[in-house]
Amino acid sequence: MKSIGMNPDDLNQNRHSPHTPAEQPVLQATPTHDLSDFAVDSQADSAMDSPNQNSGLSQIASWPFKKIFSGLEWCFGVVTMISLLTICAAIPILQFITLGYFLEISSRIVREKKVRAGFVGIRQAARIGGWALGTLMVWGPAFNVAGIFNDAQILLTESKQLQPFNVSLGVIVLLTIPYTLWAWFRGARLRHFIWPAPVRFFRTILKHETYRLAVTGFWKFMSTLHLRELFLLGFFGFLGAAAWLLLPVLLCIGGTQLPESLRGISTLIGLPLLAITLIYLPVLQTRFAVERRLRVFWELKETRVIFKRAPIALWISMFAVWAFALPVYLAKIQLTPREVFLLPTVVFVVFAWPSRMLMGWAFSRASSRAANRNVISIWLARLAIIPVVFLYAGVVFLSRYTSWYGDWSLFEQHALLIPIPLLGG
């Protein structure tokens, strides 16, 4: 099978360095690099904003405030990123972007050897959140007046009495549209919605350069999101994991769907096979995210070598993967009401993020070591992981009796695959 990333024929050629960042993925135009370090330049940020000419003293005085605002922006970006991942996870096809993002988290930590590298694209998310929040804030008065107008239509019967409400709504909408577009043209940051910069508006609104810079800045920002790369990473990461899970899950389903004479055998084979598969898959998927090769999913010998180099760390990370996946199964006991249909997906995103960071941390420790750990720690980790995966496999097996979708809910392996959209009833 063709590799989708780096092209080493065998990991054994580079045993002490399981990833080579210099090699480019084949099915990715460019690897997803430095998403979290992206900084919008003056042209992309704003078509008209001029650079600040601050003195050294003023820069020193403003330094604490810049740090405070930068921290607030980062926190706002985390909340926005959770919201964006939740929306993508609830929409078919876009789910692969969410999975790709989580795989990129692990690979980023492995490459940079820093856990904080797992916060990918937070500044871009803050930019998108500022655009959404600012737009809603600007259109708030129009929505309020529209609600008053709808109430007036119910209470008032004569058209003359409704005319003032209709005119007011029209005037507010006509004023809000150019105000919103002007904020978008300048960069769509939250400050652009708060202060309209009227002098700059009249100076530049008729210039062609204003619109050219706005369009250029928009597409430049979109290119930094690496949506295509994240989609491909999630899609092929899904295919590799699904290939391993297909047979065990079908055997577990056969425990209730096959004739009675075969149900016991199907369950007896399927449940242990599912547990054994779950031992390997987190490491296989993380290694795929680092090397971008589908062949990784069939290189079990190399996976065992990686486990021997950091057995305790990998045990902790795999325990987190399975433990953090359990809350979503609780959310599937009853069909989610439409009013809160995104709530289970929010739970999935909130718990999947730290588990992927832990996998990246553990894999990073293993990849940075040239020798195996001592035999005692290796066997302790091996023995400790067995009850964890069998317990999780048992929960997954029994979830078909509590899940709304019955036996076929066994395919909803959200810990490793794309999250099934829980759209509610």
Q: What is the pLDDT of residues 58-96, one digit of tens each?
A: 778 778 888 888 889 999 999 999 999 999 988 888 999
CA–CA separation, 173 vs 52, rounded Å? 34
Domain membership of residue 135 as a residue range:
124-224
Residue 157 within a domain: yes
Q: Is residue 236 over pLDDT 90?
A: yes
Q: Is residue 31 over pLDDT 70?
A: no
Number of domains the chain is built from: 2
Structure tokens at 361: 């941390």
State whether 215 and 335 are in the same domain: no
Residue that finishes a domain, picked among 224, 243, 274: 224
Q: Is residue 215 over pLDDT 60?
A: yes
Residue 11 within a domain: no
Structure tokens at 124: 């871009």
Q: Is residue 12 over pLDDT 60?
A: no
Residue with tokens 């209709």: 166
State whether 269 and 400 are in the same domain: yes
Percent of the chain with pLDDT over 70: 81
User: How sure is the predictor about 340, in pLDDT bands with cuts at 50, 70 and 90?
Assistant: low
Q: Is residue 158 over pLDDT 70?
A: yes
Q: Please report, to the nearest 10 degrees, the dihedral formed by the alpha carbons of residues 127, 111, 115, 40 taken in order.
A: -20
State whether 287 and 334 are in the same domain: yes
What pLDDT score does 399 carry? 77
Residue 313 within a domain: yes
Residue predicted with more confidence, 102 or 30 = 102
334-339 average pLDDT score: 65
287-331: pLDDT as tens digits:
999 999 999 999 999 999 999 999 999 999 999 998 888 887 777
CA–CA separation, 57 vs 62, rounded Å? 9
Q: Smallest Cα–Cα separation from 189: which of 265, 123, 246, 111? A: 123
Residue 56 within a domain: no
CA–CA separation, 422 vs 336, rounded Å? 7
User: How sure is the predictor about 175, in pLDDT bands with cuts at 50, 70 and 90?
Assistant: very high
Averaged pLDDT score across all residues of the chain? 81
Q: Smallest Cα–Cα separation from 103: which of 245, 268, 240, 286? A: 286
User: How sure is the predictor about 238, in pLDDT bands with cuts at 50, 70 and 90?
Assistant: very high
What pLDDT score does 101 carry? 95
Residue 232 within a domain: yes
Residue 400 within a domain: yes
State whether 239 and 329 are in the same domain: yes
CA–CA separation, 395 vs 325, rounded Å? 11
State whether 237 and 302 are in the same domain: yes
State whether 217 and 231 are in the same domain: no
State whether 232 and 218 are in the same domain: no
State whether 214 and 234 are in the same domain: no
A 10 A CB-CB count for 399 gives 20
Integer angstrom CA distances of residue 154 from 182, 317, 318: 35, 59, 59
CA–CA separation, 343 vs 341, rounded Å? 6
Work out whether the CA dihedral 360, 364, 367, 372 comes out positive or negative: negative
How many H-runs (helices) and E-runs (strands) does the chain carry?
A: 14, 0
Integer angstrom CA distances of residue 252 from 153, 240, 275, 372, 412: 59, 20, 11, 36, 13
State whether 242 and 274 are in the same domain: yes
Residue 30 within a domain: no
Residue that finishes a domain, picked among 168, 199, 224: 224
CA–CA separation, 108 vs 116, rounded Å? 9
What pLDDT score does 7 carry? 42
pTM to 2 decimals? 0.80
State whether 187 and 233 are in the same domain: no
Residue 133 within a domain: yes
CA–CA separation, 397 vs 266, rounded Å? 12
Alpha helices, H only, 90-226: 95-112, 122-155, 159-185, 190-194, 198-204, 208-224
37-61: pLDDT as tens digits:
444 443 444 444 444 445 577 778 7
User: How sure is the predictor about 164, in pLDDT bands with cuts at 50, 70 and 90?
Assistant: confident
State whether 220 and 236 are in the same domain: no
State whether 155 and 290 are in the same domain: no
402-412 average pLDDT score: 71
User: How sure is the predictor about 405, in pLDDT bands with cuts at 50, 70 and 90?
Assistant: low
Q: Is residue 422 over pLDDT 50?
A: no
CA–CA separation, 401 vs 61, rounded Å? 63
Residue that finishes a domain, picked among 172, 201, 224: 224
